[in-house]
Structure 1
Amino acid sequence: MKSTSLLLVISAPSGAGKTTVTRGVLKAFPEIQFSVSMCTRSKRDNERDGIDYFFVSEENFKDCMARGDLVEWTKIYDDYYGTTKRVVEDMLSAGVNVIFDIDSKGARAIKELYPDNAVLIFILPPFMEDLRIRLLGRMTDSQEEIEKRLQGAEEELRAISIYDYWIINEDVDVSIERLKTIIIAEKSRLKRMPQVIKERFNILQES
């Protein structure tokens, strides 16, 4: 039986508020699981291995690439990020809805591999200048790193046409509600009608 799980891909330029919006939605829908990616960068003080990322060496990551174990991967600056096939296939088999925090390259890969399950959402800042202000306000990146992130943001924006939905994050609470609405609507699509509904109402075939 084909899985009706939602693979919710959330992408955004760095500083657009994606993490805050995603956490708000995960709190509202505790049954949705967060896909934990692998990465090769150093763990930050507030991060936990296996919760925020699976932190691995570059050698281990490249071994996974060589074996074809990754559904998607990307290199951001000097670090690699990716999602293993096992994680995705296990979620689909279990009928679990999943949120992925990945870039446009990964979003495209998920959509190509799982077109019936993938739902792509792009979160935008109100204006590009807001990104610069937010990144400066973090006080965690050097000026050079901020410029790299802004350049990366422009590249991500050029890929927005592959997405199904967009949200301009002017207000975090409003953005969370919009994302919740998208998820509810996608869960209610006829193509994801659960078997119990078909049996209860004697729906033998889809028109």
Structure 2
Amino acid sequence: WGLKRPREPEPRAGVGFSFNGEGMARARLLTPCRVLSLSPTPLRRFLASLARPDLHSLSLPRATVPVRHPGPPSRNQFALRGRGLGSHLMTSSCGTQGARGPPYVPLPPATTDKDKLFEGLEAAIGSSFSSEPLSPPPNPLIIVISGPSGVGKDAVIKRLQEVREGIHFVVTATSREKRPGEVNGKDYYFVTKEDFLCMVERNELLEYALVYGEYKGIPKQQIRDFMAKGFDIILRVDIQGAATLRSILGNSAIFIFLVAENEAALVKRLIGRKTETTEMLLVRIATAREEVKHMKEFDYVVVNAEGELDRAVKLVEAIIDAEKARTWQRKVLI
């Protein structure tokens, strides 16, 4: 009748996988006319002979899935030659012959020279190993150190600056008189009350407070400049200032409460400073008792015991290091 017989579709083959109770895999090569079972060793050889794109496209189902063929098998089929573990799989023109991709690269043995083994692993993977850090650099931190008068805030900060790089102590502006031994611009910026109030009006202070009749405040620009350079910022404030900073910075800053080993030791330190009258000492002691009640509002507590300054400084350093190792990094915007 002049009609041509429809061309029979090309046969297809697939690989099915099954797993025993111990997690061992067994593969079955599925063709239109037979199912071939492969033990783990020939399975690895078979997978290694595939082109890389074919290897990536293989799926690992839990059970063997048969491959259906709509028509009768043709002469182009997979043939199995040999028996046992030495069997070789030969594919027809409809198998992986037309696959595109990089040629198979044999892996060098583990006893190979380290450099050659490194290059061999790169060649097998198909890409170079990156030398970029796996962990991003930590963000600069703001560390707020507070505590009652006489606990040694200045001593801890001074020693911290001596033993640790990459930190900047923000010099606070104050309207009080300079004490013996203090240096303007290093310990405080000593200004008049009129100048301090002008700084408040120009919004130049991150935080300020009236403490014992004198103003204290933190300049914003100083923080911005040094954080832009990657420095960690150390702020020294009283309890009132710490509460204000908490409301402004929230959890983006670290708040450390510094205390003496006991109340008696704190009073002895206040007496030893010889900077206050008896009446002022009573005020500071009463204030310290109230301030200790706010200890739980801080993130960390560090005891600065008499004669153990280095131990307190190491503990502050450990807190900073732990914060920098967190997967969730604090981020401050001033």
TM-score per shorter chain, which class?
A: 0.7 to 0.9
Residue equivalent to 2:260: 125
Residue equivalent to 1:166: 301
Q: 2:313 aligns with which of 172, 176, 197?
A: 176
Residue equivalent to 1:104: 239
Residue equivalent to 2:284: 149
Residue equivalent to 1:42: 177
Q: Is the alpha carbon distance of 1:89 and 1:109 closer, same or farther for their aligned partners in structure 2, counting shifts above 3 Å?
A: farther
SS of the aligned residue for 1:114 comes to helix
**CA distance in structure 2 between the aligned counterparts of 1:56 and 1:175, rounded to whole angstroms:** 32
Structure 1 residues 75-114: aligned runs within 5 Å: 75-114=210-249
Question: Which protein has greater RCO, CA pairs closer than 8 Å, 6+ apart?
Answer: 1
How many angstroms does 1:123 deviate by? Answer: 0.8
Asked if the contact 1:4/1:117 (under 8 Å) is kept, the reply is no
Residue equivalent to 1:137: 272
**CA distance in structure 2 between the aligned counterparts of 1:85 and 1:109, rounded to whole angstroms:** 14
SS of the aligned residue for 1:92 comes to helix
Q: Percent identity?
A: 32
Q: Return the letter of the residue paired with 2:158.
A: R
**CA distance in structure 2 between the aligned counterparts of 1:117 and 1:94, rounded to whole angstroms:** 18
How many angstroms does 1:71 deviate by? Answer: 1.0
How many angstroms does 1:109 deviate by? Answer: 2.9
**CA distance in structure 1 between the aligned counterparts of 2:211 and 2:245, rounded to whole angstroms:** 18
**CA distance in structure 1 between the aligned counterparts of 2:222 and 2:270, rounded to whole angstroms:** 31
How many angstroms does 1:116 deviate by? Answer: 5.1
Structure 1 residues 34-73: aligned runs within 5 Å: 34-73=169-208
How many angstroms does 1:139 deviate by? Answer: 2.3
**CA distance in structure 1 between the aligned counterparts of 2:277 and 2:248, rounded to whole angstroms:** 37
Asked if the contact 2:166/2:230 (under 8 Å) is kept, the reply is no
Q: Return the letter of the residue paired with 1:128.
A: E
**CA distance in structure 2 between the aligned counterparts of 1:116 and 1:126, rounded to whole angstroms:** 27
Q: Return the letter of the residue paired with 2:303.
A: I
Structure with the largest fraction of helix: 1
How many angstroms does 1:52 deviate by? Answer: 0.8
Larger Rg: 2
Q: 1:189 aligns with which of 312, 319, 326?
A: 326
Q: Once the two structures are superposed, what CA deviation does each residue of 1:5-60 show, in whole Å capped at 9, x if it has no partner?
A: 11111111111122222222111113211010000011123111111111111011
| Alpha-carbon RMSD | 1.9
Q: Once the two structures are superposed, what CA deviation does each residue of 1:63-110 show, in whole Å capped at 9, x if it has no partner?
A: 222232211111111210000222222233333201111112222333
**CA distance in structure 2 between the aligned counterparts of 1:14 and 1:36, rounded to whole angstroms:** 18
Q: Return the letter of the residue paired with 2:167.
A: I
How many angstroms does 1:115 deviate by? Answer: 3.4
User: Aligned residues, how many?
Assistant: 191
Asked if the contact 2:148/2:239 (under 8 Å) is kept, the reply is no
Q: Is the alpha carbon distance of 1:92 and 1:173 closer, same or farther for their aligned partners in structure 2, counting shifts above 3 Å?
A: closer
The normalised TM-score by structure 2 is 0.54
How many angstroms does 1:155 deviate by? Answer: 2.8
The normalised TM-score by structure 1 is 0.84
